[in-house]
Chains A and B, each alone.
Chain A
């Protein structure tokens, strides 16, 4: 059973068995506009909360996506190399960015659930 968390930086984490799949929210992709490149991290990279994990590039600008919690990158979404626009068309689904093994699940406690996130952008 997975649970989804949200951050004030407009990221989502879907957590299952100590591993989080991370992406940006639909709101975030809409703000960024059409993405043309996604710079993904190396598998095995240790991320500290707040580190730049991914850089998403739109036609006009590059934006950092931060690690929402500590952990190690276990997988990246290779489909984005050839089709970065998946983040626009399916931000919460096929447009996921990376997976990470959580260092400390208690860090999730500070994050928002979907209702709280939706209220924050309303």
Chain B
């Protein structure tokens, strides 16, 4: 445990009474004294503040930056308007998902990429291996990354002197030198993700926390919020053995790229699209009150294993247990009933169209 990385704002979390745990090599706040239930509900009702500095920002700059990103990801980076963000993925040659990313175009030759903590080193090596053929400089940035999520987020930021009201969902700006702010998040709510230099972060976080509408939110509620919103967690719902067709994130890949793109993994992806996936990601709604956790097997009426849960827990806003997982394509339709093996019991579970709580993004 001693080699865990520490958040620059760790002392601020300690002062707030956080309970810490290890996640992706970092010592992270899991919950605060309010507890996961209140933290979750508060985020949907007012504004939740998350320290997600474990995530890695990469600045990519150079005359080939767009071409490079369109090679590394199934993304039409050249068509991305400055100030707009896209959800995309990094694929290996088998079209397995190395990581999922948010790519933002900042200027003609400049992009910002936000990667998951646990994959950052692997992503960087992968990027650099591809970058050799392109005129692009890749820099891993040292930033604090704060997410402010919930219906009051915009107004809280204005009160703290950061007016981002011009941004709409999946657009971004650089409001100050070495700051990066995007209207995006991982909760299904309207909200912002703001990267800033570590030396300016404590002051900014304290400004936000001075607003009564703001509460620190730990990783436990971050997980229940994203699961209610039907969003994937890489390492759990996505991994290098899963392709975008099975993962039901083909929407993130433009149609013309699926057909003719030459990104890494394109040939394998086209083969999978032609043959169809072996299994597909679906939402799962347990019928009773008992949560069904990651790893639980899903069985059909004959008792045959036809799938597995990859994320599962309780949805505080939904008010019932929620889960997602993978099933054989024959069982993918909403309303299909399966059983989940939980210890010695088999619990009825319905295939459910995600999300469990409606998204409330501020679209343009």
Contacts and interface: CB of A to CB of B under 8 A. Distances in A.
Contacts of A36: 289, 291, 314, 321
Contacts of B208: none
Interface string A81-115: 10000000000000000000000000000000000
B169 to A, nearest CB: 27
A37 B35 CA distance: 16
Interface in B303-317: 313-314, 316
Interface residues of A, number: 13
A58 B321 CA distance: 11
B343 A55 contact: yes
Interface string A26-56: 0000000110110100000000000000010
Contacts of B316: 34, 59
Contacts of B54: none
A3 interface: no
Contacts of B220: 33, 59-60
Nearest to A31: B19
- Bin the interface of chain B by size: 10 to 19
B236 to A, nearest CB: 13
Interface in B284-327: 289-291, 293, 313-314, 316, 321
Contacts of B314: 36-37, 57-59
B313 A60 contact: yes
Given A36-B314, A36-B321, A55-B343, A61 B293 contact: yes
B9 interface: no
Nearest to A85: B37
A58 B31 CA distance: 13
Contact of B290 (A34, A39, A60, A61): A39
B36 interface: yes
A36 B296 CA distance: 18
Nearest to A84: B289
A65 B84 CA distance: 50
B224 interface: yes
A29 to B, nearest CB: 11
B291 A34 contact: no
From A39, A59, A81, residue with most partner B Cβ within 10 Å: A59
Contacts of A76: none
B36 A34 contact: yes
A58 B36 contact: yes
Given A33-B35, A34-B35, A37-B314, A60 B289 contact: no
A59 B293 contact: no
Nearest to B291: A57
A34 B37 contact: yes
A30 to B, nearest CB: 9
B343 A60 contact: no
A62 B347 CA distance: 15
A37 B290 contact: yes
B51 interface: no
Nearest to B36: A59
B220 to A, nearest CB: 5
A62 B316 CA distance: 16
Given A33-B220, A36-B314, A37-B321, A62 B37 contact: no
Contacts of B221: 59
B36 A33 contact: yes
Interface string B222-249: 0110000000000000000000000000
A3 B36 CA distance: 34
Which residue among B40, B223, B314, B343 has the maximum number of chain A CB atoms within 10 Å of its CB?
A: B314
A110 to B, nearest CB: 28
Given A59-B37, A60-B220, A33 B31 contact: yes
Contacts of B223: 60
B343 A59 contact: no
B18 to A, nearest CB: 13
Contacts of A61: 293
Contacts of A81: 289
Interface string B30-72: 0100011100100000000000000000000000000000000
11 contacts: A33-B37, A36-B289, A37-B290, A37-B314, A58-B36, A59-B36, A59-B40, A59-B224, A59-B314, A60-B223, A60-B313
Interface of B: 31, 35-37, 40, 220-221, 223-224, 289-291, 293, 313-314, 316, 321, 343
| Closest 3 pairs (CB-CB, A-B) | A34-B37, A36-B314, A59-B36
